[in-house]
Amino acid sequence: MHIVITGGAGFLGARLARTLLAQGSLALAGAAPRPIERITLVDRAAPPADLAADTRIAAVVGDLNAQLADADAAYWAEANAVFHLAAAVSGECEADFDLGMRSNFGATNALLERLRNAGTAPVLVFSSSLAVFGNSPEQPLPEIIDDNTLPTPQTSYGIQKFIGEQLVADYTRKGFIRGRSVRLMTVSVRPGLPNGAASGFFSGMIREPLAGIRAACPVPDETLVALASPARTVEGIVRAAEASDAQWGPRTALNLPSLSLTVGGMAAALERVAGKAATALLDRTPDPAIQRIVKTWPGRIEARRARGLGLLPDASFEDVIRDYVRENPDAVKLPANA
């Protein structure tokens, strides 16, 4: 089996690749498991050293739109499954409309056309976002979002992701691909450096204090957020590829499970794990630009379809933080409580 991951050198892409390599096989769309012979990682950056050293990994470094336009790029037609994770993030899309349209709408449309022209109908998993749901005074969201709630995005990023969902649904209806769109929750805790996402502080307010560094917490404590750990997020992405058509159900996007809690609750969990020395490093200075984006996102998500696939949310945010500490010991300077 040959798998392509766009954004494959990024945090989630690399974690997905490691998960698939560890599995060694994949049961695509309800079929019997097949050995994974090759994973092609397409990204602007080179993959991490551990992935680059694996003989099953092929790295394609460069702009995704350029790679999709390259007539000699045979890996698109050879792919049995494509995980489309590459995207410009929310804050970037608000600051640079053209970047968002090129990276999110343009690249997704070009990818679908490349796969249609290949005529191989691979399984495609598209990473959408809870940002397709946006609250507004004119059209307020229900208290709890479910799989049938009408998306009303309030940001360019959310609009672009919703367009991607609809394109994937139509290309699937026409038989060009076997598409599955999964709406990712806010992923926390992400290791590494901050990115341009408006949601980035949801990781930074945990990651930086654990490293002994001050961190921004730019929204009020009562702000409600739907979170998922990196492990649960990748689990949902893989399960989307494995589900049979009958298990998957309608062509519309599926909400991945989430843990619903407030920013104050996140800080309290950090204090239980690393003590007051950690929460003392939180800078509570408000950021109106971040608040304008984050306050439109829902905080309570019902994921009935995902539960039907055996997917569950994280048990607690405290457990999520402890998983981060265990997985990233070199990035943690404050002593964690047992």
> Exposed, middle or buried by CB within 10 Å (0-12, 13-18, 19+), for 35?
exposed
Kindly compute the dihedral angle of the four CA atoms of residues 190, 215, 218, 88, in this order, to the nearest 10 degrees: -40
- Strand pairing partners for 41? 5, 59
Q: Which of 228, 209, 194, 326 is nearest to 270 (CA)?
A: 209
CA distance linking residue 107 with residue 212, whole number of Å: 39
How far is residue 21's CA from residue 156's CA, in Å, rounded to a whole number? 34
Do residues 111 and 68 lie in contact, with contact meaning Cβ atoms separated by under 8 Å? yes
Residue type, 201: F
What's the Cα-to-Cα distance from 125 to each of 118, 138, 179, 222, 290, rounded to whole Å?
A: 17, 33, 6, 34, 29
Respond yes or no: is residue 171 known to be catalytic.
no
Upstream peptide bond of 125 is cis (omega within 30 degrees of 0): no
Known catalytic residues?
A: 157
